Amino acid sequence: MTQRGGTYCLLRRLQNLPRPPQQAGDQPQTRWRPDLCARRLFSDHSINRLSGHALRRGRAGGMVLILVLIWLGLMAALATQLYGMTWQLRQRARRQMARARLQAALLDEAFRRLQEVAADPQPTFDHGETFWMGTQEWERPDGLVVVSHVSDLNRYLDLNNLYVAPPFAGPNETERILLDVMRQAGDAAPGDRVAALMAWIQPPDARVPGVAFQVEGHPPYRAPGTALLSWGELQWIRGFTPDYLQQASLRATTTRTRETTLLDWVTLVPGPRSRPVPINLNTAPLPLLEALLGPGQEALARYIALMRTERPLRSTAVLAAALSPVLLQRLQPFMDVRATHIRLEAEAAAENDQVRLYVVAERDTDGSVRILHWSW
């Protein structure tokens, strides 16, 4: 027989109780009814009290369950966040390692290309076919593909030549050359822009009073009074907007008509200097040669451009017979037949990362190379 509940056992005990004896003369007693005792025992009040107690216990259990679920949700969110942070840190470390690998490859490539420049057996003159100039692409043993390009900065006019005081009395030759180059680039009235550039670069004691050299700024920019360090400084100078620098003009050549911009003829060698960066007669474009030699010397500029195609110029003495001694003396600091400054651009890519290296170096007559500017 199976075990029953507590109510059933209690009823069985009440039924087995002996009846009280009845004495003579006593009033008839009410029949002994155990069910009434049980009904009184389990009255509505008792049941309500038990139900309220159970209800309170159920509410407490529900609150505990809700708190447990909230705690589990918070733990799950925290675990998800920790996993995401770990994944991001791992990806960042992977990208940093990949970038460091690319930078190491570019450093090796820059060192290799600069060694080629220093190993030039004829450092006294350079031309467009010099072996260390141009673009090279090669694949490293570790699988990285590196592309590098070395160019002659002396084929352009350096804007920072305006920082150098003229060696002779009279007009600034760099200012004259720049004005002519800007006119050939399509600027009909470049005087204000050149004056603003000179006021920005030159020391305060050498500036022309009353020249508005800066763009509108709040607060206004102050002229540093030294050579430009980057192309970004030009945007602070009045008139040199990005649209102006990219403004193209049509120029007829011996074979075709092409678009040229000011950036095709000028460059920026960062940092001050005591002497101007000369223009290489073997690599400078024809418009720059015309601007360098000055008005009335167009035929001489075309002769130089034609002569260097047959064989490169080895010195500037070829101009002695064509120019007056006074003009030759004035132009001598701005002319050369070798690359005194070079630019190295290298690029390496892997997966979704790409790194570029930009180097400007100075080259002496003995072939030694000195780095002037280095940036990623």
Which is more confident, 45 or 81? Answer: 81
The three-state DSSP-derived secondary structure of 92-128 is HHHHHHHHHHHHHHHHHHHHHHHHHHHCCCCCCCCCC
pLDDT at 138: 85
**pLDDT band for position 16 (cuts 50, 70, 90):** low
pLDDT at 221: 59
Give the separation between CA 273 and CA 228, rounded to whole angstroms.
Answer: 11
pLDDT at 39: 54
pLDDT at 38: 52
Which is more confident, 250 or 328? Answer: 328
Mean pLDDT score of the chain, rounded to an integer? 79
Find the helix packing angle between 191-201 and 173-184, rounded to 10°.
140
Give the separation between CA 362 and CA 153, rounded to whole angstroms.
Answer: 10
Most confident of 17-21, 176-180, 221-225: 176-180
Please tell me the total number of residues recorded for the chain in this structure.
Answer: 376
Residue 197 reports pLDDT greater than 80? yes
Q: Which of 316, 248, 257, 323 is nearest to 293 (CA)?
A: 323
Which is more confident, 95 or 152? Answer: 152
Residue 15 reports pLDDT greater than 80? no
Which is more confident, 164 or 14? Answer: 164
Residue 301 reports pLDDT greater than 60? yes
pLDDT at 164: 83
Which is more confident, 141 or 105? Answer: 105
Q: For residues 120-141, give the mean pLDDT.
A: 89
Give the separation between CA 213 and CA 207, rounded to whole angstroms.
Answer: 10
pLDDT at 218: 45
N-terminal to C-terminal alpha carbon distance within the chain: 92
**pLDDT band for position 1 (cuts 50, 70, 90):** very low
Most confident of 37-46, 165-174, 320-329: 320-329
Residue 9 reports pLDDT greater than 60? no
Q: For residues 92-113, give the mean pLDDT.
A: 89
Which is more confident, 253 or 260? Answer: 260
**pLDDT band for position 132 (cuts 50, 70, 90):** very high
Percent with pLDDT over 90 in the chain: 23
Q: Which residues contact 207 (CB under 8 A, 6 or more apart)?
A: 198, 199, 213, 223
332-346 confidence digits (pLDDT tens):
899 999 999 999 999
41-59 confidence digits (pLDDT tens):
555 555 555 555 565 666 6
